[in-house]
Amino acid sequence: MNAQTPRRIAVVGSGPGGCFTAQALRRHWKDTEITIFDRLAAPYGLIRYGVAADHQHTKAVTRQFDRNFGSDDFRFAGNVEVGSDISLAELKGVFDIVVLATGRWRDRALTVPGSHLDGVLVSGDIVNALNTVPRPNLPMPAIGERVVVVGAGNVALDIVRFLIKTASDYVDSDVSPEALGTYLERPAREITVLSRSPIASAKADVAMVRELGKIPGVAFSVANSSSAAEDNTLGLKREAAFADLTAIEPDEARAQVRFVFGATPSRIVGTDHVESVHLAEAPAGVTGSIRADTVISAIGFDVNAPGHWHYAEEYDFAPSDGPGRLECGLYRAGWLKRGPVGAIPANRADAHQVAKEIIADVESGRCPVEDDPGGFEALPESVRAQAVSFADWQQIDAAEVANAEPARTRTKFRTHAEMLEAVEDLRTNGSTAPQTAPTHSMVKGQS
C-alpha cells in the first residue's frame, strides 16, 4: 500500500448518505478499513426511521448495505456518538479520512402567530412515532378530526396518506402498532392541505398524487390559484393527477381532503388549543378561515437546528453544491452537505460525487495521507466495548422480526436502552431468542 491509499476511513452516520459514500469509496479502495459510526444501535438512519411506514419497499435499499456489512466491507460501530462518546478530534487522529454524514433531522417549524398553540405539530413527530424512533420513543401526538396540513411536497402527501389510510393499508409494514392504533381510534375526517405554490410548481411527485386516489372511501376537492403554462409538461401532468382525484366519487366518504393551492396561513387562532387557521392569501372561492383542531406542518427541515453540530461547531454546515471537503481529511456528504432535499436516490448521486472528490484529493497529492493512524482498533477500549457491531445489530434485527405482531414485518424496540439490553443479553447468554417481548397493544383498526 503506498502513500496515496488511505488505510482507515471513518464515516459518521449510517443513513443513505453515509452508506452510499462508503460504498463508492469501497469500490475504489478495496483494502481500506471503513468504519461507519452511528449514535444509534441500529444502522440506516433515515431509511429505517424517516421513510413513510406504508412505503415499505423504499426501505429495501438497505439490502445493498446489509451485504456490504455482511461481507466485512464495512465495520458498523453503532451506539457511538461523536461529540459525546468520542470527539471529532480523536476520530480525526486515528482515521486518515473522516466523512460526516449525519443528516438534518429536525423539521422546520411554522413561525406564524399561534404556532405555539397546542395542536400545532411538525410532520416529523408523526413520522418518528410511526417508525418507532428510539432514544426515547416518542408517542404519537394527538390528532383531531379537522386537520390543516401546511405544505404540498412529498412529505406533506405522506402525511395526507397517513391521515386517510386504514389499518389494512399497513399489512406487512414495520409501522408501530401502538402509534398507528392511537391515531386510528379517532381518525381525521376533514383535511385541508395548504400549498403556497400553485399546482404547477408544487413539489409533489405525480406518482404520489395518483397514489392518494387509490385509497378508497375518500372524497377530494382542489382549488388552484393559477394554471400551468402550456409548455410545462410536468406541471400539466400534476394538474391532471389532481383533477383525477376530484373525479373520484366514493359511495360514503370516511374523509374529505381539500387541497388549496396558492394559500399561506397568516395566523393560527385559539385560546390554548388550535381552533382555526387564517389565510393570508387564497384562491377565489376559498374562505379566509378554516376550522381546525390540528395543524401539521410539512415544510422541510431546519438546516440550522440548534444543538445539531455540537460535535463540530467550528465548521460551516450551510447547504452547499460545492465541494464536500471541510478541510483535508474531513468531508461531509448527504443532507449534511447539500441540504435536506431530495430522496434516497439523490443522495446516492451526491455520495458518488463526494467519494470522487475524496479519491482525487488523496491521489492527486492535494491531501496526502500519512502513516497508518490505527483506525478503529486505536480507539479507546471503552469506546470499542460500547460499539454495537453489525453482528450485534443482526441479533437485534432478528429479535425485532421474531417479535413482529400479526401482519407486521417487525416490531421495533421502542427505546435505545431496550436495543442495548438485547445486545447485552445476547452477548451474555449467547442466545438468539428475543429477550424483550413487546408489551404494547395490538392495532385497533377500523377494517
Partner 1 sequence: MNIVVLYGTESGNSELIAQDLSDKINADGQSAEVFDLQDFEPESITPESFYIVVCSTHGDGELPNTAQDFFEKFSTFEGDLTGVRYAMFGLGDSFYEETYSQGSEHIDRRFTELGAERVGEYGRHDASSWDLPSDVALEWLPAVVAAADA
Interaction between residue 67 and partner 1 (CB under 8 A): yes
Cβ-proximal residues to 407 (8 Å cutoff; 6+ apart), any chain: 170, 171, 172
Taking CB under 8 A as the binding criterion, the range among 54-62, 84-92, 142-150, 160-168 that sits at the site for partner 1 is 54-62
- Report which of 259, 200, 195, 246 is spatially closest to residue 226, judged by C-alpha positions: 200
CB of 63 to partner 1, least distance (A): 7
Interaction between residue 247 and partner 1 (CB under 8 A): no
Taking CB under 8 A as the binding criterion, the range among 120-128, 137-145, 342-350, 399-407 that sits at the site for partner 1 is 342-350
CB of 281 to partner 1, least distance (A): 29
Question: Which residue among 5, 61, 404, 415 contacts partner 1 (CB under 8 A)?
Answer: 61
Give burial (CB, 10 Å; 0-12/13-18/19+) of 166: middle
> x/- site string to partner 1, residues 4 to 23, per CB under 8 A?
----------------x--x
Interaction between residue 72 and partner 1 (CB under 8 A): no
Q: Cell numbers 393560527 label which residue?
A: 268
CB of 209 or CB of 420, closer to partner 1: 209
Given a contact cutoff of 8 angstroms between Cβ atoms, the answer to whether 43 and 14 are in contact is yes
CB of 184 or CB of 209, closer to partner 1: 209
C-alpha to C-alpha distance for 219 and 167, rounded to whole angstroms: 19
CB of 207 or CB of 243, closer to partner 1: 207
Given a contact cutoff of 8 angstroms between Cβ atoms, the answer to whether 257 and 219 are in contact is yes
* Residue 120 DSSP SS3: strand
C-alpha to C-alpha distance for 292 and 192, rounded to whole angstroms: 9
* Residue 55 DSSP SS3: coil
* Cβ burial 203-231 (10 Å sphere, 16+ → b, else e): bbeeebbbbbbebeebbbebbbbeebeee
> x/- site string to partner 1, residues 298 to 337, per CB under 8 A?
----------------------------------------
Interaction between residue 345 and partner 1 (CB under 8 A): yes
Strand pairing of 330-332 and 325-327?
antiparallel
Taking CB under 8 A as the binding criterion, the range among 37-45, 62-70, 185-193, 272-280 that sits at the site for partner 1 is 62-70
Residue spans of alpha helices (H) in 53-191: 62-70, 88-94, 123-130, 154-164, 177-184
Interaction between residue 248 and partner 1 (CB under 8 A): no
CB of 156 or CB of 344, closer to partner 1: 344
* Element housing 345 (H / E): helix 344-363
CB of 223 or CB of 401, closer to partner 1: 401
CB of 344 or CB of 443, closer to partner 1: 344
What residue ranges in 163-204 does DSSP mark as E strands?
190-195
Interaction between residue 60 and partner 1 (CB under 8 A): yes
CB of 61 or CB of 112, closer to partner 1: 61
C-alpha to C-alpha distance for 248 and 441, rounded to whole angstroms: 35
CB of 202 to partner 1, least distance (A): 15
CB of 2 or CB of 71, closer to partner 1: 71
**Helix, strand and coil percent figures for the chain, each rounded to 5:** 35, 20, 45
Q: Which amino acid is it at 15?
A: G
Interaction between residue 57 and partner 1 (CB under 8 A): yes
CB of 345 to partner 1, least distance (A): 4
Give the end-to-end CA distance of the chain in Å, rounded to a whole number.
Answer: 62
Cβ-proximal residues to 71 (8 Å cutoff; 6+ apart), any chain: none
> x/- site string to partner 1, residues 140 to 179, per CB under 8 A?
--------------------------------x-------
Interaction between residue 30 and partner 1 (CB under 8 A): no
CB of 175 to partner 1, least distance (A): 16
Interaction between residue 63 and partner 1 (CB under 8 A): yes
Taking the CA atoms of 308, 312, 318 and 322 in sequence, report the sign of the dihedral they define. Answer: negative
Taking CB under 8 A as the binding criterion, the range among 203-211, 320-328, 360-368, 399-407 that sits at the site for partner 1 is 203-211
**Residue 397 to residues 178, 207, 315, 404, Cα–Cα distance (Å):** 19, 31, 35, 11
Taking CB under 8 A as the binding criterion, the range among 1-9, 124-132, 191-199, 200-208 that sits at the site for partner 1 is 200-208
Taking CB under 8 A as the binding criterion, the range among 74-82, 138-146, 345-353, 424-432 that sits at the site for partner 1 is 345-353
CB of 280 or CB of 360, closer to partner 1: 360
CB of 16 or CB of 134, closer to partner 1: 16
> How many CA atoms lie less than 13 Å away from 38 in the CB half-sphere?
27
Q: Which residues bind partner 1 (CB under 8 A)?
A: 20, 23, 57, 60-61, 63-64, 67, 172, 205-207, 210-211, 214, 237, 344-345, 348-349
